[in-house]
Amino acid sequence: MNDIVRGADRVLIQERGPGVPEGIYGAECMSCEAVSPLFDNDSLPVAVWALQHSQDRPDHTLFLARTERHWRVVPRPDNPPPPSSSGPGFVGPAFVGLMCLLTALSGLLPALTS
């Protein structure tokens, strides 16, 4: 698995497999609203489009090139299974401290103590 970003219990990976292009390429003229067609796995046709567009309109020389890829979020393979819900749940000092902090930040703590 080739991770892009690894979270606590999930991983963002580049989608690979049959029919999934390595990249989807396109360009947009920054002087007008012209947009190239999109091409899978090959940026050369986009470069040719930009050159032809600039040849037809010599003052159009700046382009925004885009490369798109498919990503997928999947469960992290080395994650331990979640704890069973037989206990009281997420209750304890950390939870109480977090709730006090959130209450204070919301401005309700002064109202409750006065």
How do residues 29-85 score in pLDDT, each as one tens digit? 999 999 999 999 999 999 999 999 999 999 999 999 999 999 888 888 776 555 555
| Helix, strand, coil percentages in the chain from 3-state DSSP, rounded to 5 | 30, 25, 45
- Region 93-110 average pLDDT: 61
pLDDT band at residue 109 using 50, 70 and 90 as cut-offs = very low
CA–CA dist 35, 50 (Å, integer): 9
Residue with tokens 């360009």: 27
CA–CA dist 109, 102 (Å, integer): 9
